[in-house]
Amino acid sequence: MAGALGAEVILIERDIVGGAAHLWDCIPSKALIATGAELAELQRARSMGLQASGRLDLDALADRVRSIEERLHTSVRDLLASQGVHCLAGTARFTGPRTVTAETASGAEAVDADVVLVATGSRPRVPDWAPVDGDRILTTRDAYRIREVPRHVVVIGSGVTGVEFTHMFRALGAGVTLVVSRQQVLPKKDPEVAAVLEDAFLQRGVSLLKGARAHAVERTTDGVVVRCDDGRVVEGSHAVLAVGSIPNTDGIGLDVAGVAVDAGGYVTVNHNCLTSVPHVYAAGDVSGKLPLSSVASMQGRKIAEHCMGLHNRPHRHLDYDKAASAIFTDPEVADVGLAEAEAFASGRKIRVTKVPFSANAKSLIEGDPRGFVKIISDPATGVVLGGSIVGQSAAELISVLAVAVTNNLKVGDILDSLLVHPALAESLAEASS
């Protein structure tokens, strides 16, 4: 974006351009989930009157993931080249307030800049009680390297990443136990949404260990043992840690540049993503806002406009409270804006409408009536404040509510739209009435 706006841009990357999203996070996880979904479809086909069988070819699957990554990587590189961005392969650190030095294969290269953007991302958090070995005790990044479907995976952590990995391994045929430290999976999400997902997990044979906080993982001869603080012990062939991430802010010379970080090591930024230093910006996971690719990209675009002096144009600051997010489980989960519990906690008056997909013609035709749409609006004005969807295609459907929330549309605007029939989106209109 900065290149497109006419800036001379140097991008320093130590690994691959495109970052963790392409290598470990969004893309490989969703590619494996897509294969798991195809397997489930084949199994479900029987109930639709078809005979089908599916055999998983892990080598072909690994090739497929690699080819998706390569295509995305090439398209990002081509895009950068088309905007005249110079990519420098190396590890960067500040060596002065306006100087960044890249350690490249051919030695150190110092770059002086008017503006610096720190976008070094984050990495999985590894607690000291978990001796990760990349073989049996894994971070989410190690989990893609497994060459056979594990016998039984113990997933530790039931936030977004934990439930996605639970779904992914189960869909590929592994046994799974999910260690849930609270009384519901997805502790930050709507409890009714979490309940639908929990039911789906239980029906698919996932064991949920609720109210149990893992505090030790050990290797055995052919597997792992996970010990919880309430005395419960789970055995499995592998353990996967999904207990959050930490920012990549150590060793990059932020102190040399005078860039402030918070107690968690995240770079502190203002509403323009500017750090404590007026010519240094930070975006993405290091900025400690919402750890989502979509948010990182949007921050990058806004920063480019800001540093190129376009912030005086009509311009909307990023409102993180209006970011849509999705969880690619089966059923999918997605939400945007104000949550029901949040509104109750703050005493704000809201109108909540909930419509089950079991009343939707397309859901019934497709044989998957699980889940619901919930819309939260302002009772006085009808403005859509938020919504949650759990069910098939929730990640796509939430876009309608995201547009409504971002643009202060009213439930009447959704209701008055002539939608397709039969379509899952009809439930959005119904929940708007």
Ligand X SMILES: Cc1cc2nc3c(=O)[nH]c(=O)nc-3n(C[C@H](O)[C@H](O)[C@H](O)COP(=O)(O)OP(=O)(O)OC[C@H]3O[C@@H](n4cnc5c(N)ncnc54)[C@H](O)[C@@H]3O)c2cc1C
**Contacts to ligand X by CB under 6 A:** 12-15, 19-21, 25-26, 29-30, 91-92, 119-121, 140, 161, 248, 252, 284-285, 291-294, 296
Nearer to ligand X, 20 or 389 (CB): 20
For the bound state, the minimum distance from the C-beta of residue 429 to ligand X, rounded and expressed in Å, comes to: 27
Residue type at 422 in one-letter notation: P
Task: Report residue 227 as tokens.
Answer: 């010990």
Which residues have CB under 8 Å from 296's CB, separation 6+? 119, 283, 284, 285
Angle, CA 162 vertex, CA 330 and CA 44 arms, to 5°: 20
Please report how close the Cβ of residue 276 comes to ligand X at its closest, in angstroms. 19
**DSSP assignment letter at 142:** G
Shortest distance in whole angstroms from residue 295 CB to ligand X:
7
Contacts of residue 17, defined as CB under 8 A and 6 or more positions apart, other chains included, come to 11, 73, 76, 77, 80, 87
Residues 6+ apart with CB under 8 A from 224: 136, 137, 154, 217, 218, 235, 236, 237, 238, 239
Pick between residue 24 and residue 372 the one whose CB is nearest to ligand X. Answer: 24
Minimum Å gap between C-beta 242 and ligand X is 8
Contact 109, 88 (CB under 8 A): yes
Least distance to ligand X, CB of residue 222, Å? 26
Identify residue 75 by its one-letter amino acid code: S
Query: Any residues with CB less than 8 A from the CB of 166 and at least 6 apart, and which?
Result: 155, 158, 176, 178, 201, 206, 329
Q: Angle at the Cα of 297 (from 85 to 118), degrees rounded to 5?
A: 65
**Among the listed residues 332, 329, 430, 326, the one whose alpha carbon sits nearest the alpha carbon of residue 374:** 430
Closest CB to ligand X among residues 266, 357: 266
**CA 310 to centroid of chain Cα atoms:** 30
Question: Smaller CB distance to ligand X: residue 3 or 19?
Answer: 19
Please identify, using beta-carbon distances, which residue of 3 and 291 lies nearer to ligand X.
Answer: 291
Closest distance of CB 48 from ligand X, Å: 29
Q: Tell me the closest approach of the beta carbon of residue 87 to ligand X, in angstroms.
A: 11
Compute the residue count for the chain.
433
Residue with smallest beta-carbon separation from ligand X: 284
Other C-beta atoms lying within 10 Å of the C-beta of residue 202? 11
Q: C-alpha distances in angstroms, 360 versus 25, 355, 372?
A: 33, 9, 10
Closer CB to ligand X, 29 or 184, in the complex: 29
What DSSP designation does 44 have?
Answer: H
Closest alpha carbon to 323 in 337, 333, 312, 309: 337
Minimum CB separation of residue 274 from ligand X in Å reads 16
Would the CA dihedral through 16, 17, 19, 21 be positive or negative?
Answer: negative
Q: Which two tokens stand for residue 67?
A: 């080819």
Q: Which is nearer to ligand X, 193 or 355 (CB)?
A: 193
Specify whether the CB–CB gap between 329 and 340 falls below 8 A: no
In the bound state with ligand X, the residue whose beta carbon lies nearer, of 35 and 427, is 35
Nearer to ligand X, 143 or 217 (CB): 143
User: Could you tell me the smallest distance in angstroms from the CB atom of residue 353 to ligand X?
Assistant: 27
Closer Cβ to ligand X, 15 or 416, answer by number: 15
Closer residue to ligand X (CB): 115 or 431:
115
Report in angstroms how near the CB of residue 415 gets to ligand X at its nearest. 30
Q: 256, 249 in Cβ contact below 8 A?
A: no
